[in-house]
Structure 1
Amino acid sequence: AIKKKLMQVFNAAGSQGGSVARALLESKKFAVRAVTRNVTQPKALVLQELGAEVVKGDLNDKASVEAALQDAYGVFLVTNYWEHHSKEEEVSQGKLVADVTKRLGVKHVVFSGLENVKRLTGGKLVVEHFDRKGEVEEYFWSIGVPMTSIHLAAYFENFLTLWKPKKASDGDYYTVALPMGDIPMDGISVADIGAVVSRIFDSPEEFLGKAMGLSAEALTVQQYADVLSKILGKDIRDAKITLEAYEKLGFPGAEEMANMFRFYQMKPARDVKLTHRLNPEVKSFSQFVSENKEALMGI
């Protein structure tokens, strides 16, 4: 039997890593090594049942990263800023993986990066959770690791948590408060990323050395609200919140999020056509809302 190429997935119990590990296993083309800090957590056990080799790995520990990367042909890496809110840690983790993949001669890294907004805007906008991934991505390119980087659109999943419609204080309707004005915002379900990554690994000649933006579709806040209204049968409207008002909402990271929306208003490159070509089953926002109707009916 031909030995399958071994694909190693970091943060395999996370939403992006989990989606990638499952898609690689479903493709039946690759052997999958799923790396996670806790091998007994339910998500890790599910991957094991699906046929992955599940190994313990810590992105802060060089020996652990080296062990996890032994014999890997390809690597999927996403670093998790929200896990520790430490920009230094995210960058050092990313650079460590870059150095080790370079030294071990890994043939194809798919890195879930984002733009370095601070550099792109000459320091005017700082969006930590973008900039750090951008910094790691630049490092990967600079040391010559064979890589494809993907930049994801906003997750539809955010509408289940952070961006859930809120009841208006002055009436029987709900509002979605995203400071985008009338500019469409790209979105995608994190569950649909895996199939795209699987296709990228399957076509190295087409995708090595490229950076690409992924998006299922781009809608205005009003259009997002209309989809929610139609499927949930409730009156949901665009709150028409300004960037300035959003910044003053006072939740942790409000300013950084406002800067992210300022960057989204500049329309960063996200390729809807390519995303659909690589994953023809990518969900639209209305399919996503239909599938998550239960979770949203509780608003």
Structure 2
Amino acid sequence: MRKENEGAQGGSVARAILESKKFAVRALTRDVTKPKAQALRDLGIEVIKGDLDDEASVEAALKGTYGAFLVTNFWEHFSKEKEVCQGKLVADAAKRLGVKHVVFSGLENVKRLSGGKLEVPHFDAKGEVEEYFWSIGVPMTSVRVAAYFENFLTTWKPVKASDGDYYTLAIPMGDVPMDGISVADVGAVVCSIFNSPEEFVGKAVGLSAEALTIQQYADVLSKVLGKDIRDAKMTPEAYEKLGIPVGKEIANMCRFYQTRPDRDVKLTHRLNPKVKSFSQFISENKGAFKGV
């Protein structure tokens, strides 16, 4: 569940690579007039207009590059088919142009892994794209990013309980720890991966700052915000019945997370020694909880 932060992932990567001073950076965006695009330009990043549905603009963006970081955004159109098409278009262009290293923000193909029992379209699409990149022989590393800490500032914000002076977190994980990371910390990891192609080409790397149970996330929030915040102890089944537009998808994502997919905390810390803990992240973003 990463919808508010897809653009943030690309921005984080662009900044980290620029700071490393090993590569010049070119950023592809559909709207070059956006403040975020302007901010990248102010840093000295070449920002060009382009679209993942448009082959010519993808080719122009990739021409003459050593490597590329790709993130596709399911939440923009809610179409698994469209996301797969975009990923394959980039893969084909990278193959034609001989790009040396693509880092793709991927995820597992849950439908295939669960034998069709679980469908999580925003994971499954990325899983199909991962498989396609490797099948056509593009040198690619997939980074499978854990749940964003940023979601706790928006979608997963604590909600006031109806029966008392406390708040709840409704994330249907039971007592199974859920891996998390701040999207801002992804950039430095990707930069390290570009610097070590021999170690990472052809691999999938699961990124996580730490894994906490929902009660532990609630405890951190309680401590930092000075409120009583608790795990709502919600089941995936109950979550599906809340009537949230993507309720079933998020419930299935949590069912998949309960199988503890591979997210490597130790490796993530090696690739970005400054990666923030949830506690640090919430302390730095206290302002987002003003209404709580």
Tell me the TM-score range normalised by the shorter chain: over 0.9
**Candidates 178, 187, 190, aligned match of 2:180:** 187
- Preserved CA contact (<8 Å) 1:66 1:100: yes
Task: Give the TM-score normalised by structure 2.
Answer: 0.97
Partner of 1:8: none
**Candidates 16, 27, 52, aligned match of 2:20:** 27
Partner of 1:174: 167
Whole-angstrom distance in 2 between the partners of 1:277 and 1:120: 28
Matched, 1:63 2:56: yes
Partner of 1:53: 46
Partner of 2:289: 296
Secondary structure at the counterpart of residue 25 of structure 2? strand
Matched, 1:145 2:138: yes
Partner of 2:115: 122
**What value does the CA root-mean-square deviation take over the aligned residues?**
1.0
* Paired residue type of 2:100: K
**Candidates 239, 263, 279, aligned match of 1:286:** 279
* Paired residue type of 1:212: V
1:6-32 alpha-carbon deviations (Å, 9 max, x no partner): xxxxxx981110110011111111100
Whole-angstrom distance in 2 between the partners of 1:182 and 1:125: 20
Moved over 4 A (4+): none
Matched, 1:83 2:83: no
Q: Gaps (5+ residues) in structure 1?
A: 1-11
Whole-angstrom distance in 2 between the partners of 1:203 and 1:212: 13
Secondary structure at the counterpart of residue 162 of structure 1? coil
Partner of 2:250: 257
* Paired residue type of 1:193: V
* Paired residue type of 2:72: T
Identity %: 78
Whole-angstrom distance in 2 between the partners of 1:208 and 1:248: 42
Whole-angstrom distance in 2 between the partners of 1:296 and 1:106: 43
- Preserved CA contact (<8 Å) 1:232 1:297: no
Whole-angstrom distance in 1 between the partners of 2:205 and 2:138: 16
- Preserved CA contact (<8 Å) 1:13 1:36: no
Shift of 1:139: 0.4
Task: Give the TM-score normalised by structure 1.
Answer: 0.95
Partner of 2:32: 39
Secondary structure at the counterpart of residue 157 of structure 2? coil
